[in-house]
Amino acid sequence: MDEYFEIQCTNSIEKIKISLCDQDYILGLKTNWYYHLTKKNDLQVSTRVNNNTLYLHDIIVRHSRLTKPSPKHIVYHNNMDPLDNRRSNLVWKTKAEIRKLKK
């Protein structure tokens, strides 16, 4: 298992895992991270900047410069834990691939 840094969620006792290589960048954003249920009933970690919701997994994937295979792909947590935002846990999947995994 790769080493990680933990960030305390602002609104809960939960802690978020991020890879050590992302620690300085994420902490440098100086924002609060919230663990919450989305409109689609998914648990996510996000923050608000200029009235926009930004999801931690999206920020980390952009920062790591992982190329999106196609417009149909979205970031997926391999272990299905939205608090685990280590690079090794974030992969690209299509919604169809995710549906198959959840069956």
Domain ranges for the chain: 4-102
Q: Is pLDDT above 70 for 82?
A: yes
* Predicted confidence band of residue 1 (pLDDT cuts 50, 70, 90): low
Q: Which CATH architecture has domain 4-102?
A: Alpha-Beta Complex (3.90)
Q: Which residues pair with 53 in a beta bridge?
A: 48
For the segment 40-59, what is each residue's pLDDT rounded down to a tens digit?
888 999 999 899 999 999 99
* Predicted confidence band of residue 2 (pLDDT cuts 50, 70, 90): confident
Please give the biggest Cα pair distance in the chain.
Answer: 39
Say if pTM beats, i.e. exceeds, 0.85.
yes
pLDDT averaged over the chain? 93
48-75 burial, b at 16+ Cβ within 10 Å, e below that, comes to eeeeeebbbbbbbbeeeeeeeeeeeeeb
For the segment 8-39, what is each residue's pLDDT rounded down to a tens digit?
999 999 999 999 999 999 999 999 999 998 88
**Residue 48 pLDDT:** 92
